[in-house]
Amino acid sequence: MADFDLIVIGSGPGGYVAAIRATQLGMKVAIVERESLGGICLNWGCIPTKALLRSAEVLHLAKNAKSFGLKIDKTDFDLQAVVKRSRDVAKQLSGGVGHLMKKNKIEVIMGEASLKKGKPAPVVTVKDKDGKTKDYQAKHVMLATGARARAIPQAGLEPDGKLIWTYRDAMVPETLPKKLLVIGSGAIGIEFASFYNELGSDVTVVEAVDRILPVEDEEISAMARKQFEKQGLKFMTGAQVKSLKKNKNSVTAEISAGGKSETIEADRVILAIGIVGNVENLGLEELGAKIEKTHVVVDGFGRTGVQGLYAIGDLTGPPWLAHKASHEGVICVEGIAGANDAHPFDASNVPGCTYSHPQIASVGLTEAKAKEAGHKVKVGKFPFIGNGKAIALGASEGLVKTVFDAETGELLGAHMIGAEVTELIQGYVIAREGELTEAELMETVFPHPTLSEMMHESVLSAYGRVLHI
């Protein structure tokens, strides 16, 4: 006798969303969580960093009050209050997830889960905080245990929570580091670099690849670097951190770039060199689930190949994004339920967002990747300086770039940098999901005055019909 139709392990945005969808489809569901409902996203990731970045943004506006005709004599901040606001936001949302679980009659089991062989699905053993264990049997088990920051202990790239931070430590600083070294220029590294730079730290970002934000379009990477440098951020690209040496209250980093070696001393270091899946201590090897590079191997419906066992989200590999996890979770549950319209996961329509100042957002192929894939492309570009709303906002730096297949008119990719682009990108995601061509996008009415008009203009530009530049 199964206790549940589905047990979800991990209550991040992948797990808890999947659990809700499962109850909508009539399943009896339990969710296991070892720490806080909502997982990393709500508690230590997406949401609290957005709260921090909002403080930084307001500070930035206040500092520039004069350009808006306003008078603010003295701008200052209280770091502890900024951190507290961020923690309060996380707490409020975690409580919200608890409410959602209750509303949907999902049983929340607090403790650490492991698996052992069972039928029709592996047996879930949960160890609670007192060390007591209990076994649960479900018809289906979904792993949504997420991921954590990668470390390279051999080179001293190992977080200690004091001098060498992960995202988690960087979110709750006690004091503002004077000199900060950020290793890795992906979304996480850039967001923290942007935050600390705004607050006044002297920030250097080291990136192994020859450009920052390596997954973004090259043109966007270059524009981002220029704008960040204008704000005082320093970058070392094509550079590798050979070692980190901890001193009493600082860290010495040995960095090699272009055949030369250099040492940099910083008060604090943030490690943002990638993500590893939380695959350990679950009993996956014994069950025969396939693990590649710390990620569980699954098909488009999250199936692991072990009967009754599924995996979704960060655990299954890039892109490591909350919305990817939620989407995969829903697909997986619909696959289990045999829902009419279940479609396997397609990573090519997952948008990526970086919430730094300026913001960066994209979906689909970069111009270079599109050409690599053999497409003849038509590229459209529209700068923020040509948009009325952007100028009114005092945010006239940025670009909206679109890449079309010249033959078919397929929107292959869209890449944006500038104010609020993380809110705009979904327009292009819908276009891709609905397989709209340039014709429909051109026919669409965009409201005036909005930043979204640039999305229209970029499409027009790709076909030589741009209006306002």
Partner 1 sequence: MAINITMPALSPTMEEGTLAKWLVKPGDTISSGDVIAEIETDKATMEVEAVDEGTIAKILVDAGTEGVKVNSVIAVLAEEGEDPDEVEAPKDAGGSLKKEESSKKEEAAQTKAPEQEDKPAPKSEKPESDSAKKSVSSELGSTPMKLADVGDGGDRIKASPLARRLAKLRGIDLSNLKGSGPKGRIVKKDVESAKAGQAAASTAAGAPASPDGLILPQVLDDRVYAPDTYELKPLDGMRKTVAKRLTQSFMQVPHFPLNVDIKLDKLLAARAGINEAAPEGVKISVNDMLIKASALALIAEPDCNASFTDKGIAYHKSAHISVAVAIDGGLITPVIFNAEKKGLATIAAEMKDLASRARERKLKPQEYSGGTFSISNLGMFGIKSFGSIINQPEGIILSVGAGEKRPVVNEKNEIVPATVMTVTLSCDHRVIGGAEGARWLQAFKRYVESPESMLL
Q: Which of 18, 32, 58 is nearest to 316 (CA)?
A: 18
Which listed range, 207-215, 249-257, 326-334, 401-409, lies at the site for partner 1 (CB under 8 A)? 401-409
Q: Does 349 bind partner 1 (CB under 8 A)?
A: no
- In this structure, the strands spanning 138-143 and 147-149 are unpaired
CA–CA dist 445, 195 (Å, integer):
36
Q: Which is nearer to partner 1, 210 or 407 (CB)?
A: 407
Residue with tokens 């943004």, as numbered in its chain: 57
Based on CB atoms, which residue is closest to partner 1, 2 or 442?
442
Among 368, 430, 439, 467, binds partner 1 (CB under 8 A): 439
Q: Is 434 in the site for partner 1 (CB under 8 A)?
A: yes
436 counts as binding partner 1 under rule CB under 8 A: yes
Pick from 214, 319, 409, 449: which binds partner 1 (CB under 8 A)? Answer: 409
Side chain identity, residue 390: A
Please give the residues from 5 up to 64 whose contact with partner 1 meets the rule CB under 8 A.
26
- Choose one: 7-15, 156-164, 166-174, 404-412; the region binding partner 1 (CB under 8 A): 404-412
What the block records as the tokens of 114 is 């492991």
Minimum CB separation of residue 345 from partner 1 in Å reads 14
When asked if residue 75 is in the footprint of partner 1 (CB under 8 A), the reply is no
Stretch that binds partner 1, among 181-189, 226-234, 324-332, 339-347 (CB under 8 A): 339-347
Q: Is 410 in the site for partner 1 (CB under 8 A)?
A: yes
- Near partner 1 by CB under 8 A: residue from 110, 127, 440, 446: 440
Per CB under 8 A, does 437 bind partner 1?
Answer: yes
d(CA 171, CA 49): 7
Of 280 and 435, which has the nearer Cβ to partner 1?
435
Contact between 340 and partner 1 by CB under 8 A: the answer reads: yes
Catalytic residue among 99, 327, 448, 456: 448
The answer to whether 435 contacts partner 1 (rule: CB under 8 A) is: yes
| 343 lies in the site for partner 1, by CB under 8 A | yes
Please pick, from the candidates 68, 79, 408, 423, the single residue that binds partner 1 as defined by CB under 8 A.
408
Interface with partner 1 (CB under 8 A), residue from 128, 280, 407, 423: 407
Residue 448 annotated to the active site: yes
- Which chain residues interact with partner 1 by CB under 8 A? 26, 340-341, 343, 407-410, 434-440, 442-443
**Which residues participate in catalysis according to the annotation?**
448
